[in-house]
Amino acid sequence: MLGEVAEAVEIRCHDLRTPEGIRRNNELGIKNFPTIAINEEVLFESFIPAESELLDAVFARL
């Protein structure tokens, strides 16, 4: 299942030590970390979801 996701998505990490990372963080309205957004929608803020929950969220948005 993870292989299917890896081929279908693009993962981006934004470094908050850079102006671009700070800009993206502000655009998404992220206030707490860690945060996971899918298609610019903040879904998981202040925690890391279980793998099954994350995969369900990804597949629901493909």
Tens digits of per-residue pLDDT, 3-62?
777 787 888 899 999 999 999 999 999 999 999 999 999 999 999 999 899 989 998 988
DSSP lists the bridge partners of residue 45 as 35
Q: Is the pTM of this model over 0.75?
A: yes
| Res 1 pLDDT > 90 | no
The domain in which residue 21 lies consists of 2-60
Which residues neighbour 40 within 8 Å (Cβ) at sequence distance 6 or greater?
28
**What is the count of structural domains for the chain?**
1
Contact 26/16 with Cβ under 8 angstroms?
no
pLDDT score of 10: 87
| Res 2 pLDDT > 90 | no
